Amino acid sequence: MVFAGIAVTVLGFVISLLSLSMASSVTARLIIVLLGIAVSLFGILGMINSAYLKNAIWRKQS
């Protein structure tokens, strides 16, 4: 799950970067870059962090 999260985080950056070649209008680029950022944030907060939370120290406390 952690490594999948890393891959999704990088994928978000790649999507943003591709806006430079996929579109020429400012609006289209803006949307694609925002989409890329959202994907990266999902990778970090939704996947990597969630994976760590499953084994968090406070879940094991007696």
36 binds other proteins (CB under 8 A): yes
1 binds other proteins (CB under 8 A): no
16 binds other proteins (CB under 8 A): yes
| Cβ-proximal residues to 42 (8 Å cutoff; 6+ apart), any chain | 8, 12
Backbone angles phi, psi at 61, to 5 degrees: -65, 140
Identify the burial level of 5 via C-beta atoms within 10 angstroms of its C-beta, where 0-12 means exposed, 13-18 middle and 19 or more buried: buried
Residues that bind other proteins (CB under 8 A): 2, 6, 9-10, 12-14, 16-17, 19-21, 26-27, 29-30, 33-34, 36-37, 40-41, 44-45, 48-49, 52-53, 56-59, 61
